[in-house]
Amino acid sequence: MSTHIAAKEGEIAQAVLLPGDPLRAQYMAEHFLENPQCYTTIRNMLGFTGTYKGKRVSVQGTGMGQPSMSIYVTELFRFYGVTTAVRIGTCGAIQAETQVRDIILAASACTDSAIPRQRFGDLCFAPTADFGLLQRAHHAAETLGLRHLVGTVASTDLFYDDRENWKVWARYGVLGMEMESAELYTLAALFRRRALAILTVSDHIVTGEAASAEERQTTFTDMARIALDTVAEL
Ligand code: HPA
């Protein structure tokens, strides 16, 4: 057991999918995994382990934002021997050509967070996805016939940001705004593990369009399939 995860040794699989919302973790466990077992309920940040296509997989809620996600992922890497971490979440699109419901495979992640300054001072680290996972996710998305883009996202600490800093990121080709991936990739680098973020566009920051609750459910299911197929044959 670690401070924020109640699992005993061996209860968490080597491959873990990471939705922000713990109820999404429960939904995934109940709809996609065989024989799912809940291993933690601390703070209601639910985690489950089951099997998918014969492979042991866990799904762990992380909460919103880099500080929350960092706690769970650090404990998964440090105490539970997790080797593969795949975030599944949403983002807001900041390029005109990106559409709501698109899936973005985040090859890299910029951030406005103070976390890198605490870790690196004046040095600037480049948080990057694991290439093998990215390749597999790309292949899974093609096989499933799901529209997807590969590129850079930005992990912001402010969901409600009246400075409109997204415009700076947009000028440099960043596809979308979310709140976790930069720290996930940084932790994977530190612990020498593999990580990837798979994101669906839930809203469009330029046009104001937003996915309906029903569309969010469908796109979540598509994204979950890509993530599961990505880790199934590792
Ligand atoms: N900003 C930050 N994170 C997000 C957004 C957004 O617009 N949409 C979904 N996650």
Number of H helices, E strands in the chain: 7, 9
Average of pLDDT values for 205-215? 92
- Active-site amino acid positions: 203
How far apart CA 106 and CA 29 sit, in angstroms, is 24
**Could you tell me the residue ranges of all domains in the chain?**
15-232
Write the CB contacts of 38 (distance below 8 Å, at least 6 apart in sequence): 26, 29, 46, 47, 48
Please tell me the distance between residue 168's alpha carbon and the centre of ligand 1 in angstroms: 16
Instruction: Supply the pLDDT for residue 91.
Output: 98
Report how far ligand 1's centroid is from the alpha carbon of 7 (Å). Answer: 30
Structure confidence at residue 233 (pLDDT): 85
Question: 91 CB under 6 A from ligand 1?
Answer: yes
- For tokens 């973005």, name the residue: 104
C-beta 92 within 6 A of ligand 1: yes
What mean pLDDT is reported for the chain?
97
- Whether the model clears a pTM of 0.85, i.e. scores above it, the answer is yes
Over residues 116-160, the pLDDT tens digits come to 999 999 999 999 999 999 999 999 999 999 999 999 999 999 999
24 CA distance to ligand 1 middle (Å) = 17
Which phi and psi angles does 82 have, rounded to 5°?
Answer: -70, 130
Tens-place pLDDT, residues 21-65: 999 999 999 999 999 999 999 999 999 999 999 999 999 999 999
pLDDT at 204 over 90: yes
Class of domain 15-232: alpha beta
Mean pLDDT of 103-122: 98
Residue nearest (by alpha carbon) to ligand 1 atom 7 = 92
